[in-house]
Structure 1
Amino acid sequence: MKKISKLVLIVFISIFLSVIYGITRDFITAKISPEFYTKFLFFNFGILDDYERTFSGNWTFALIWVGFFSTWWFGLLAGLILGIVGMKYSDENQMLNEELKSIFIVIGITIIFGFVGYGIAELNPSETIKNYNFPFRIEHKAEFNKVSKIHNFSNFGGIVGLIIGTFNLIKN
């Protein structure tokens, strides 16, 4: 029964840290390209219902909303996977410690990948957005592209981090 309670704890910690990461990432990247949010993410998350409408709402609330709903599910998935794999430990404290290490591996790799995405976009600032096929016009393409790359790379980094974190639990 103690292992089940540790599993539930790991899932909640994973969700919490994922949400903190998502909100922090959104607060940082919204400074780079507010347009990415007002024309893309706010529409996708139901905050705006028209691409051309000017956003006049509360930025803080909107960024928390987007950050929460874009990451909580990955925290749940990561917590469940790492928690279940970590049940192989006979000692509950060792189980919790190893699972926490793996969660921080996931977050660390996710952050690194986000920086890599930023770096790639920064090294190629003249890259134009041709293939996105959006139903709206992008005013600041380089900034929009930076934030898009940060989000895409960090999402991929989360997957890579989860794989590495899971292997970390298996090998110990």
Structure 2
Amino acid sequence: MKKISIIILIIFLSITVSVIYGILHDFITSGISPEFYTKYTFFNFGILDDYSRPFNGNWVFALIWVGFFSTWWFGFFAGLILAILGLKYNDLKLILNVTLKSIMVIIGITLLFGVFGYVIAVLNPSEIIENYNFPFEIENKIDFNKVRKIHNFSYLGGFFGLMIGTFNQIKNKW
């Protein structure tokens, strides 16, 4: 019963950390390119239903909505994997300690990959966005591309971080 409780706690903590990261990530990147959200992300998350209509809603709520729904599933998935792998330890404190460190590794690597995506976009600002096939015109292609790269690299970093966190959890490198 105690191990089931620790699994639930780890999953809850993992979801919470992922959602906080996602919300902060969206607040930061929306400052770089609000257009990425108003013409792309808000439409994908059902906040807007027409590309040509301006966004007149609550910006903070919309970013929280997007940040939550774009990351909770990863937190659940990562938490479940790490919690199950943590069951190999008999001490509940050790399970929690090792697993929380793995979650922090995932977040750290995700953040590093996002920064790397930003640096790549800054170093290559002339990249033309013509292969995205959007049904709308992008007004500020450079900033839109920065945020697109940050998001793509962050997802890649999350999966890479999960692999490293999982490997370290299995090998108990902590």
TM-score normalised over the length of structure 2: 0.98
2:108 counterpart SS class: helix
- 1:3 deviation in Å? 1.1
Find the counterpart in structure 2 of residue 88 from structure 1: 88
Matched, 1:151 2:158: no
1:88 counterpart SS class: coil
Find the counterpart in structure 1 of residue 129 from structure 2: 129
- 2:158 and 2:142 mapped to 1: Cα distance? 24
1:89 counterpart SS class: coil
Find the counterpart in structure 2 of residue 104 from structure 1: 104
Find the counterpart in structure 2 of residue 67 from structure 1: 67
- 1:4 deviation in Å? 1.0
- 1:2 and 1:128 mapped to 2: Cα distance? 55
- 2:57 and 2:169 mapped to 1: Cα distance? 44
Find the counterpart in structure 2 of residue 19 from structure 1: 19
2:87 counterpart SS class: helix
- 2:124 and 2:52 mapped to 1: Cα distance? 28
Unaligned runs of 5+ in 1: none
TM-score normalised over the length of structure 1: 0.99
Deviations 1:25-47 (A, max 9, x none): 00000000000000000000000
- 1:134 and 1:82 mapped to 2: Cα distance? 38
- 2:116 and 2:21 mapped to 1: Cα distance? 16
Which amino acid in structure 1 is aligned with residue 103 of structure 2?
I
Which amino acid in structure 1 is aligned with residue 52 of structure 2?
E
